[in-house]
Structure 1
Amino acid sequence: MSASFGPTSSPFTRAVVNSMRRIYPESLADKSFDNTGLLLEAPLNHARRQRNSVLLTIDLTKAVADEAIARKHSVVVAYHPIIFRGLKSLTFNDTQQQSLLRLAQEGISVYSPHTAVDATPGGMGDWLCDIVTGAITSSSSNPEVIPSSSKLYSAPTYPQPGPVSFSSASAIPHIKSTLHPSPPPIPAGLEDAGMGRLVTFNDPQPLTTIIDNIARGVGSPGGIPVAIPQSATVNTIMIRTVGVCPGSGSSILLKGVSQIPDLLFTGEMSHHETLFAVENGSVVIALAHSNTERGYLRAVMKEKLEEALKQEWESSRKEGLKAGAAEMKEAYEDAECAVHISEKDRDPFGIMIRRM
């Protein structure tokens, strides 16, 4: 049998993978624990092609998989890897494996960039710095509300960042550095790559100012979890340095640093690590793991991927049509190229506010 008839993913899927690798080089990911790259390569079904579209999400949940299937996307770009450790089987007994099997059946591939996004200059770490300094604000779109019959607490809300605006002129004067630079070799032009960022303000700033910046940047969540030293109050604390890390940041913000920053801004931190930071005079803001990540998809990644993908797909189409492969002619003739943000993606934790 000719090799041209062997299993293959769609040309558009390959264009998406190439684009993501160019924007967020996989070599920058922390491979000591992470699992990044093309995690599910679904075969092309010529009789039932998917749309030339991508769905961006933080987590690939059953609800997101349903969304991708209903909208006939070709690729799900899930920031968090749905396959994190080695699998010994693929069955319907595990809900995540169910999603993978269903997506493969529908011809939908899955790509995960994870820590490559954290380390890349202009990635998630730098976006959090822009939030802290007030350069980025996000209007809150309608937060998802789950009905509650509780008489003591409101229904849980899940922040959903709306349209974003960026203005370097509005940022508090500061310098920014990388906490843990990536080891060589580093791709040209990405010399500042690495895990974690440190913002150093020219002048100390009130903690309340930074909290307001964070709230506006991530979509005004229903509450801001903050840990402060017992000898201080929120209104009296001044902040000169801020360590930022999306997701779970303790290993980046507390280990291997010469001095703990005045403020640690991350998604989650363990009880004992938080106590350690607070007892050393620092403040911790932990918004729930993916609330420090989700807004980046809308604020930065969508536009970056759209621009790179349009160029990549146009180039691939020209080469494919020129090559004249009959079985791929219909796929290459489709000029559609779109990137969408998941409407179902959300952090597992919502906030229920006590009724007054």
Structure 2
Amino acid sequence: MSVSSNSAPFSRATVRAMQRLYPKALADNSWDNTGLLLEAPFDPARRRSNKVLLTIDLTRAVADEAIALDSSIIIAYHPIIFRGLKSLTLENTQQQTLLRLASHGISVYSPHTAVDAAPGGLGDWLADIVTATKTNRVSGDLENNKGNVAQSVEQDDPFVDKKPPVFTLHNHPSQAINRSSRGSASSVPHSRRPIVPQTPELASHLGAGMGRVVTFDEPQPLATLLDRIGKGLNNPKGFPIAIPQNKTISDISISSVGICAGSGSSLFSGLKCDLLFTGEMSHHEALAAIENGQVVISLFHSNSERGFLGEVLRDQLEEAITEEWDKVRTEEEGNEEIKEALGDEGFDVLVSEVDRDPYGIVILKGDAE
């Protein structure tokens, strides 16, 4: 049986689901490269399982995982292709990954900044963390225990007490979020808006735009926000923070937060917020911010994005694929070439277990002197 000129029908349903959830029109198409980046032809004789693998970065390890899982399609948040290609060879590691996936019949879709901009997307997920929206990870009532939290942070505040660190190499876990741990705790009263609103606005995605600004009704202790962020990210071993040199963590209250997943430097230019919450900022940009009296929290680039896959996108995609897969099966009914594939009603949306940020944290054990 010959190879089809189309991709697998289930892969097509998945692409339609992603385009419905996160239209390409929401992406920053002035530089980004989103959409279906690799469309592997469908071979009925080598049909793959109806499995979607979610990842932030498409590395060789993730490609191996997708092949081993018998996945039909990978949703890779970061595009593996950014610029035009003049050739596809095995010498380049990224091109090697693409060629291997194509040979196994696995397609690749990348939504990137469309996810950042969409309402209910990455920007709102990070805003939910700082506002304690939709999470019950915090033990007890933070709003009634601000003093206790501030005191516990002050005891370990590196800006106050220069004790030797006790730290091992730690990478933030790929599947950090357990969906059963999500609750419905009340949000801290606040307003939020995009830093750069979507223009023109999409009727299907009102309120879209790049980045978020959260303004609290009442100032929040920085120590409380650190607790929320740590618990919202499943308690990483640590993350960088920059504060003005004449301050300590327990001195600072936050009234407004500028938020950007990934690298937020350009989006934060000229933004007047007490706290800049992002995945990545350069030394000089962070220095300029603290000289301006601002606080910077940086999570390492992809650690500001990865938890979204298991906590939000998986559920969204399962619901959207259910509808789109039913439509594709109805539209293609009677197509004998793909009859067997259409008969497989079930599917799985999985989060990569090997995807991780290239940076980990080295934690020194014992006396560092």
The two structures have a TM-score, normalised by structure 2, of: 0.88
1:36 maps to which of 11, 31, 34 = 34
Distance 1:139 1:237, change over 3 A: closer
Query: Is the 2:177–2:234 Cα contact (8 Å) retained in structure 1?
Result: yes
Indicate whether 1:173 and 2:186 are aligned.
Answer: no
- Aligned partner of 2:345 in structure 1 is 335
- What is the alpha-carbon distance in structure 1 between the residues aligned to residue 71 and residue 136 of structure 2? 27
Query: Is the 1:138–1:162 Cα contact (8 Å) retained in structure 2?
Result: no
Distance 1:319 1:286, change over 3 A: same
- What is the alpha-carbon distance in structure 1 between the residues aligned to residue 331 and residue 177 of structure 2? 38
Task: Determine what percentage of the aligned residue pairs are the same residue.
Answer: 57
1:279-290 residue pairs with structure 2 within 5 A?
A: 279-290=291-302
2:112 maps to which of 114, 117, 120 = 114
Query: Is the 1:305–1:339 Cα contact (8 Å) retained in structure 2?
Result: yes
- Aligned partner of 1:194 in structure 2 is 209
Query: Is the 2:11–2:107 Cα contact (8 Å) retained in structure 1?
Result: yes
Indicate whether 1:56 and 2:57 are aligned.
Answer: no
Tell me by how many angstroms 1:162 deviates.
Answer: 2.7
Letter in 2 for 1:156: L
Letter in 2 for 1:113: P
Letter in 2 for 1:157: H
After the TM superposition, which of the residue ranges 333-342 and 291-300 deviates more from structure 2? Answer: 333-342
- What is the alpha-carbon distance in structure 2 between the residues aligned to residue 5 and residue 88 of structure 1? 25
Query: Is the 1:134–1:172 Cα contact (8 Å) retained in structure 2?
Result: yes
2:12 maps to which of 11, 14, 17 = 14
Deviations 1:288-333 (A, max 9, x none): 0000000000110000000000111012112212xx1221211211
- What is the alpha-carbon distance in structure 1 between the residues aligned to residue 40 and residue 354 of structure 2? 22
Query: Is the 2:169–2:360 Cα contact (8 Å) retained in structure 1?
Result: yes
Distance 1:28 1:82, change over 3 A: same
Letter in 2 for 1:132: V
Counterpart secondary structure, 2:206: coil
1:298 maps to which of 303, 310, 316 = 310
- What is the alpha-carbon distance in structure 2 between the residues aligned to residue 290 and residue 139 of structure 1? 21
1:126 maps to which of 113, 116, 124 = 124
Letter in 1 for 2:347: C
1:226 maps to which of 241, 264, 282 = 241
Tell me by how many angstroms 1:5 deviates.
Answer: 7.3
- What is the alpha-carbon distance in structure 1 between the residues aligned to residue 284 and residue 211 of structure 2? 20
- Aligned partner of 1:78 in structure 2 is 76
- Aligned partner of 1:245 in structure 2 is 260
Query: Is the 1:137–1:213 Cα contact (8 Å) retained in structure 2?
Result: no
Q: Report which structure shows greater RCO (CA 8 Å, sep ≥6).
A: 2
- What is the alpha-carbon distance in structure 2 between the residues aligned to residue 53 and residue 83 of structure 1? 22
- What is the alpha-carbon distance in structure 1 between the residues aligned to residue 268 and residue 234 of structure 2? 24
Tell me by how many angstroms 1:133 deviates.
Answer: 1.1
Structure 2 unaligned runs (5+)? 139-164
Letter in 1 for 2:195: L
- Aligned partner of 1:317 in structure 2 is 329
- What is the alpha-carbon distance in structure 2 between the residues aligned to residue 261 and residue 167 of structure 1? 29
Letter in 2 for 1:251: S
Deviations 1:226-277 (A, max 9, x none): 000001111101100001110001111225x4xx210000000011111111
Distance 1:139 1:345, change over 3 A: farther
Deviations 1:166-223 (A, max 9, x none): 4554322111111100111x32142210000011011111101001100011111111
Tell me by how many angstroms 1:106 deviates.
Answer: 0.1
The two structures have a TM-score, normalised by structure 1, of: 0.91
- What is the alpha-carbon distance in structure 2 between the residues aligned to residue 50 and residue 75 of structure 1? 9
Deviations 1:87-127 (A, max 9, x none): 11111111111110000000000000000000000000000
Tell me by how many angstroms 1:154 deviates.
Answer: 4.8
Query: Is the 2:275–2:297 Cα contact (8 Å) retained in structure 1?
Result: yes
After the TM superposition, which of the residue ranges 311-320 and 77-86 deviates more from structure 2? Answer: 311-320
- Aligned partner of 2:285 in structure 1 is 273
Query: Is the 1:138–1:219 Cα contact (8 Å) retained in structure 2?
Result: no
Counterpart secondary structure, 1:223: coil
Letter in 2 for 1:9: S
- Aligned partner of 2:198 in structure 1 is 182
Counterpart secondary structure, 2:195: strand
- The total of aligned residue pairs comes to 336
Higher strand share: 1
Distance 1:61 1:7, change over 3 A: same
